Amino acid sequence: AQSVSQHNHHVILSEAASLELGCNYSYGGTVNLFWYVQYPGQHLQLLLKYFSGDPLVKGIKGFEAEFIKSKFSFNLRKPSVQWSDTAEYFCAVKGGSARQLTFGSGTQLTVLP
Amino acid sequence: EPEVTQTPSHQVTQMGQEVILRCVPISNHLYFYWYRQILGQKVEFLVSFYNNEISEKSEIFDDQFSVERPDGSNFTLKIRSTKLEDSAMYFCASDREDLLYNEQFFGPGTRLTVL
């Protein structure tokens, strides 16, 4: 069975600070990896995804993530956060032939103006 | 841009009552999903649905739950006799059939409160 761990439950940053949110997964085979964001009162939106190829993936709104297979990690980064990045961020994995996503517990990011 | 919609946004019900949560997936999508998130916990997979039948379900999806595509646009989740622990946010999602491009699009969720 696959699982996902997000180590930070709540991160508070000032605008222009750099962001890194940790995500580790547990699955022995081929995985697809995702980061979703949920802005207050809105639905889950895809930030970026990794299926194969270049392990450094660029997504929307200046976010990127790096897949490190040896560490089973897929950390999300942004060099300079904005107040509008305040949201909850979810890492998710899809393993093998399964279609359903397994989510981490989410990280609430608060960016102070 | 097409999006998944869900109704109602908030449903309050008494324990033991039946509830039906409704979703309209994106029109050219063929796989549909329900997930739930109990407050403070992870988003958990409940069930996936393809070609008018359940394709996968989790251990959470017991006999109290059922899903249906009653017409060409709606996808519903029914909870037959709600329990207090069914209180959660329920998300519907859909995606295309092509496994290589399996990005799931989520609806805004229905917050279910069981009293």
Instruction: Give the pair of three-digit tokens for residue A90.
Output: 């979810």
User: Which of B102, B103, B110, B111 to probe the A interface (max A CBs under 10 A)?
Assistant: B102
Using CB atoms within 10 A of its CB, is residue B35 exposed (0-12), middle (13-18) or buried (19+)? buried
For chain A, say whether B108 makes contact (Cβ under 8 Å).
yes
Average pLDDT, chain B: 92
Please indicate whether, in this complex, the C-beta atoms of B55 and A99 are within 8 angstroms of each other.
yes
pLDDT attached to residue A41 = 77
**CA-nearest residue of chain A to B34?**
A100
B106 at interface of A, judged by CB pairs closer than 8 A: yes
For residue B98, pLDDT beyond 80: no
3-state SS class at B111: strand
pLDDT of residue B28: 87
Mean pLDDT of B50-75: 93
Contact call for residues A89 and A10 (beta carbons, < 8 A): no
Tell me if residue B86 falls in helix, strand or coil: helix
Instruction: Say if the Cβ atoms of B48 and A42 lie within 8 Å.
Output: no
**Residues on chain A touching B103 (C-beta within 8 angstroms):** 34, 46, 49
* Confidence band of B99 (pLDDT split at 50, 70, 90): low
pLDDT, average across residues B89-111: 86
Q: Has residue B100 got a pLDDT over 70? A: no
Closest B-chain CA to A41: B108
Q: Give the residues of chain A that fall short of pLDDT 70.
A: none
- Write the DSSP assignment of A68-113 as a string of letters: EGGGTEEEEEESS--GGG-EEEEEEEEETT--S-EE---EEEEEE-
B35: β partners:
B45, B91
- Chain segment B1-54, per-residue pLDDT in tens: 789 999 999 999 999 999 999 999 999 898 999 999 998 888 999 999 999 999
> Inter-chain contact A32–B102, Cβ cutoff 8 Å?
yes
* Contact status of B102 with chain A (Cβ, < 8 Å): yes
